[in-house]
């Protein structure tokens, strides 16, 4: 297996079809990257408070907060980037706008910039993430940067290219001026090997199709595609050879084996039907796997966690990601 992301990668952007596990995978990846003493920032950009929900904490303010300790030491911080706050911060930092900044706010210009001109909003969101990537460490002896990595729980596949392609989006709107310069600076980070865009999916037709389309779009825009994270992979209870074997004859043999347990032939038949459906699903999943392999990107499988995701489940997923990265490293 190839490396799921380049070693110099420090900005991990996690996209995927809605509901396939972007937030979960982003959190697990942050834990995996912090493993053994690192410091990682997990950011969200859609105002959904998905990270707070996942870690079962109060809604995140616009402030970097420690949210979890990684296996073997290491710490994950979280930040919900709010475009309005990011704009004000940006204005303050670079222009000392003061009164004019307030006027902008009073006139809803901030609202305007952040809701109506999505390109502007996006450059603020990605800009803040890039700032965290580049921030140098004042308080970390021996470390070059404040964070070893930044993981973004990003918008879904359908919007990701537009979201990251801030340069093109903003170019039509702001032709000159600092916002345009900012967009260009952000774009330089996003198209460099420092960045990888990972896509989560499940082994079903629609999400796989969307993933393949997403990979194409990202590539066409010159954005660096990372790994395909196949999420919620279920345990196969029938080995390959047995899948086709849930035949009528096999059902008879199984019935004989199960009778001592008080399971009658009707019940065995119901179990066999379940087995056939399972086999059918596994076959379809194989087709989806092959389609994903065709994308030519590294693929990492994440197991389905029974009973829902809690911190333990996140650690389990983080372990799967670390293992994949370690195998890739060795290869």
Partner 1 sequence: MSGTPKRLDVDGLLTDPATSIIVCCGSGGVGKTTVAAALALRAAEQGRDVVVLTIDPARRLAQSLGLTELDNNPREVEGVQGAGRLFAMMLDMQRTFDEIVENHADPERIEQILQNPFYQSLSAGFSGTQEYMAMEKLGQLRRTGEETGSWDLIIVDTPPSRSALDFLDAPNRLGSFLDGKLIKVLMAPAKAGGGFALKVLASGFSIATMALNKLLGSGLLHDVQTFVGALESMFGGFRQRAEETYQLLQAEGTAFLVVAAPEPDALREAAYFTERLAAENMPLAGLILNRVHPVTVPELSAEKALAAAEELDADSADPRLAAGLLRLHAERVRLAARERRLAERFTASQPGVAVAEIPAQSGDIHDLDGLRLAGDLLAG
Ligand X SMILES: Nc1ncnc2c1ncn2[C@@H]1O[C@H](COP(=O)(O)OP(=O)(O)O)[C@@H](O)[C@H]1O
Binding site for partner 1 (CB under 8 A): 17-20, 46, 48, 91, 95, 97, 99-101, 103-104, 106-109, 111-112, 115-119, 159, 162, 169, 172-180, 204-206, 209, 235, 237-239, 242, 245-246, 250, 253-254, 257-258, 261, 263, 267, 270-275, 277-278, 280-281, 284, 306-308
Residue closer to ligand X by CB (options 23, 165) is 23
Distance set, CA 262 to CA 237, 246, 272 (Å): 22, 20, 16
Half-sphere exposure of 295 (CA within 13 A, CB side): 26
CA 224-79-88 angle, 5° bins: 95
CA 204 – CA 292 distance, rounded (Å): 11
Residue closer to ligand X by CB (options 19, 37) is 19
Residue closer to partner 1 by CB (options 10, 17) is 17
Distance set, CA 246 to CA 235, 236, 275 (Å): 18, 14, 7
Which residues form the interface with Mg ion (CB under 5 A)? 22-23, 50
66 interacts with, out of partner 1, Mg ion, ligand X, none, CB within 5 to 8 A per kind:
none
Closest C-alpha among 158, 2, 177, 143 to residue 75 = 143
Q: Work out whether 15 is an interface residue with ligand X (CB under 6 A).
A: no
Q: Which two tokens stand for residue 241?
A: 């050879």
Q: Considering only 126-134, 163-171, 218-226, 298-306, which stretch makes contact with ligand X by CB under 6 A?
A: 298-306
Q: Work out whether 47 is an interface residue with ligand X (CB under 6 A).
A: no
Q: Work out whether 19 is an interface residue with ligand X (CB under 6 A).
A: yes
Binding residues for ligand X, rule CB under 6 A, total: 20
H helices, E strands: number in the chain: 14, 8
Residue closer to partner 1 by CB (options 7, 108) is 108
225-233 and 75-80 beta bridge pairing = unpaired
Contact by Cβ (8 Å): 144, 151: no
Residue closer to ligand X by CB (options 24, 114) is 24
Contact residues: ligand X, CB under 6 A: 16, 18-24, 50, 204-206, 231-232, 302, 304-305, 308-309, 317
């Amino acid at each position: 297996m190839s490396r799921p992301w380049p070693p110099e990668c420090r900005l991990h952007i996690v996209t995927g079809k809605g509901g396939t596990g972007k937030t979960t995978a982003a959190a697990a990846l942050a834990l995996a990257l912090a493993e053994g003493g690192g410091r990682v920032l997990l950011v969200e950009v859609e105002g959904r408070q998905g990270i707070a929900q996942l870690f079962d904490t109060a809604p995140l303010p616009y402030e970097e907060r420690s949210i979890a300790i990684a296996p073997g030491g290491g710490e994950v911080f979280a930040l919900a980037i709010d475009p309005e706050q990011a704009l004000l911060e940006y204005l303050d930092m670079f222009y000392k706008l003061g009164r004019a900044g307030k006027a902008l706010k009073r006139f809803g210009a901030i609202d305007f910039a952040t809701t109506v001109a999505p390109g502007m909003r996006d450059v603020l969101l990605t800009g803040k993430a890039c700032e965290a990537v580049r921030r140098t460490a004042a308080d970390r002896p021996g470390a070059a940067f404040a964070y070893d990595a930044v993981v973004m729980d990003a918008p879904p596949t359908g919007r990701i290219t537009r979201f990251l392609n801030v340069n093109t989006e903003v170019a039509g709107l702001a032709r000159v001026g600092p916002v345009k310069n900012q967009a260009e600076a952000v774009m330089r980070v996003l198209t460099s090997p420092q960045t990888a865009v990972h896509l989560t999916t499940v082994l079903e037709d629609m999400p796989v199709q969307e993933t393949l389309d997403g990979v194409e779009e990202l590539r066409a825009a010159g954005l660096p595609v990372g790994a395909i994270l196949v999420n919620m992979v279920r345990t196969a209870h029938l080995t390959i050879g047995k899948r086709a074997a849930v035949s009528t004859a096999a059902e008879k043999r199984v019935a004989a084996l199960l009778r001592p347990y008080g399971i009658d032939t009707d019940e065995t038949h119901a179990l066999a039907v379940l087995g056939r459906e399972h086999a059918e699903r596994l076959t379809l999943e194989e087709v989806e796997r092959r389609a994903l392999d065709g994308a030519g990107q590294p693929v990492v499988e994440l197991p389905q966690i029974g009973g829902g995701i809690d911190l333990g489940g996140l650690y389990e997923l983080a372990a799967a990601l670390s293992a994949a990265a370690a195998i890739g490293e060795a290869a």
